[in-house]
């Protein structure tokens, strides 16, 4: 009985981590440079976020939300397709994916309202 409970708790934690990770990344049909600049502008536009470090060569932004650091990374998949991941720096998912959802909403809004977002 004890072994079954351990296995069930492990399966639950694996499923929870997988679903959290799926909510922390998104693929955009934009080139990496446009998306990187839009991500910087989006994070900078909200006073709850504070950018700590930007690396354009590697495509990452380290920002602070509350007392936790989050890492936004951009990965170019194809010529006009880029993936963004937003993960807690210390892999502590206690706040869930609300920070990632908020940043994705800001980026979507920034792309929708900017002249560069209209370029396909």
- HSE (CB half, 13 Å, CA atoms) of 51? 15
Tokens of 60: 């990452």
Segment 66-89, tens digit of pLDDT: 888 999 999 888 878 899 999 888
Name which residue leads in pLDDT, 60 or 14. 60
44 pLDDT higher than 80: yes
Tokens of 49: 């976020």
CATH code, residues 2-118: 3.30.310.220
CA distance 87 to 21: 8
Domain boundary assignment for the chain: 2-118
pLDDT of residue 98: 85
* Cβ 32 vs Cβ 74: under 8 Å: yes
Q: What share of the chain is helix, strand, coil (3-state, %, to 5)?
A: 45, 30, 25
Q: Model pTM?
A: 0.74
């Amino acid at each position: 009985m004890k072994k079954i409970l351990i296995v069930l708790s492990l399966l639950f934690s694996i499923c929870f981590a997988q679903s959290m990770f799926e909510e922390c990344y998104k693929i955009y049909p934009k080139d990496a440079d446009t998306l990187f600049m839009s991500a910087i502008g989006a994070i900078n536009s909200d006073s709850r976020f504070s950018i700590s470090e930007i690396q354009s060569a590697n495509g990452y932004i380290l920002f602070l939300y509350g007392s936790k650091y989050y890492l936004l990374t951009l990965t170019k998949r194809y010529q006009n397709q880029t993936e963004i991941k937003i993960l807690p720096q210390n892999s502590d998912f206690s706040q869930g994916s609300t920070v990632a959802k908020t940043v994705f909403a800001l980026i979507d809004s920034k792309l929708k309202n900017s002249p560069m977002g209209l370029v396909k």
